[in-house]
Amino acid sequence: MNLFLLNAATNSLSDYLPILMQIFLAIGIVAIMMGGSHLLGPKRKTKDKLANFESGIKAIGNARQPMAIKYFLIAILFVLFDVEVIFFYPYAVNFKELGTEGFFAVVMFVAFFLVGFTYIIKKGALKWED
């Protein structure tokens, strides 16, 4: 029988106990620190302390003005395509071992990538003019 399958079948909750203890310890420390600072910290709420601070400059107007969605769209598209490019690294490292099957998988990945990019171009998502 395969050793990996044998080890996978014998995994139990006790194998994950150290990880669960670390998670609960981390959550407990954060809760204690936040609760302690809330209970022990000063509570002098004056008008000056509750006012918004803008680097020493008096606030002018409303901060909730609508902003063009183009900035957010460009940022999201950059992150999306940047993350997709990261997936090329494992292929570049292992291209000899992957052979033709790996090559066709990467070709399919690039095809999906280009279909998405073409869709974005056709929709005009990268045009800055309104």
CA distance 17 to 68: 49
The tokens for 120 are: 């974005």
Q: What is the pLDDT of residues 41-84, one digit of tens each?
A: 888 888 877 777 767 777 677 767 777 778 888 888 888 888 88
**Percent of the chain whose pLDDT exceeds 90:** 25
Domains and CATH numbers, the chain: 3-123 (1.20.58.1610)
The tokens for 6 are: 């044998």
Q: Is the pLDDT of residue 13 over 60?
A: yes
Q: What global pTM score does this model have?
A: 0.44
Cα angle for residues 71, 77, 81 (degrees, 5° grid): 150
Cβ-Cβ contacts under 8 Å for 105 (sequence gap 6 or more): 98
In the three-class reduction of DSSP (H, G, I as helix; E, B as strand; rest coil), residue 128 is classed as coil
